[in-house]
């Protein structure tokens, strides 16, 4: 007797990523910054509005330089979504132009500079409400194959596994 077909797509494998614990943008990291980015089509850039609390203190009343670099790196990394690639930071440079204040409304904007093969160059700026640039970053990101690099962090299940749940 022939085996019964379960129909199109019923034996499709799916991939479930672990929760997002990214320090900068992960919603599952209780200690993280939880930055939320949106894409501004008109200006062709990613934007995130935020305030930094005293836990991010460097100099009195201002943000730590490492936190500033983290925000710029995260913003530049979002730009790679435009090319639908996963690209990891290879190099980053930061120009600290003015102290970044705590407890004030701020925004970070990021955009693509150029792409050559797997090399993606992006830039980002942190601005105050007056539009003054407080810090600027430029980064080189290398596109990778996430299935190869992150295979041990991905949970693979078949539809049969799901039926057993």
Cα–Cα distance, 86 to 48 (Å, whole number): 20
Write out pLDDT tens, residues 95-135.
999 999 999 999 999 999 999 999 999 999 999 999 999 99
pLDDT above 70: residue 162: no
* The residue to which tokens 């440079």 are assigned: 93
pLDDT digits (tens, 9 = 90+) for 126-145: 999 999 999 999 999 999 98
Predicted TM-score (pTM) of this structure: 0.80
If you write DSSP's letter for every residue of 49-80 in order, what string do you get?
A: EE---GGGBSSTTBB-HHHHHHHHHHHHHHGG
Give the bridge partners for 101, in sequence order. Answer: 62
């Amino acid at each position: 007797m022939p085996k019964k077909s379960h129909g199109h797509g019923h034996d499709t494998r799916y991939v479930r990523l672990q929760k997002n614990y990214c320090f900068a943008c992960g919603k599952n990291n209780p200690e993280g910054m939880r930055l939320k980015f949106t894409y501004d089509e008109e200006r062709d850039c990613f934007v995130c509005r935020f305030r930094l609390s005293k836990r991010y203190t460097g100099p009195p009343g201002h943000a730590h330089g490492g936190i500033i670099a983290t925000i710029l790196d995260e913003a530049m990394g979002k730009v790679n979504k435009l090319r639908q690639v996963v690209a990891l930071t290879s190099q980053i440079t930061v120009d600290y132009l003015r102290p970044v204040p705590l407890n004030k409304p701020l925004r970070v904007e990021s955009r693509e500079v150029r792409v050559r093969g797997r090399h993606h160059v992006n830039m980002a700026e942190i601005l105050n409400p007056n539009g003054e640039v407080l810090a600027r970053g430029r980064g080189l990101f290398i596109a990778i194959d996430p299935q190869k690099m992150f295979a041990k962090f991905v949970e693979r299940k078949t539809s049969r596994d799901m039926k057993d749940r």
